[in-house]
Amino acid sequence: MLPIQDLLHRMRWDPQFRTAAFEIGYYDRVLDQVVRVRFEALPEDLPLHRIREVWRDGSLIWSRAGPGGNL
């Protein structure tokens, strides 16, 4: 599996890859659930280990199993 930091780097800097609409699903500790936001709206101080899934044009392209198992 591609490390999340490598995928985020490609989403930000690869001119052909970044033309897609990306959403990031991250674990929100207050809500106790995975929240999906546009890549551009991702909090900059979000720890990478809280990112659980990445969606490209509505299709899941990357996921990480959470503490409770699969997403």
Task: Tally the C-alpha atoms within 13 A of residue 5's C-alpha that lie toward its C-beta.
Answer: 4
pLDDT category, 46, cuts 50, 70, 90?
very high
pLDDT category, 71, cuts 50, 70, 90?
very low
Give yes or no for residue 20 having a pLDDT over 90. yes
Where are the chain's structural domains?
A: 4-63
State the maximum Cα–Cα separation within the chain, in Å, rounded to a whole number. 36
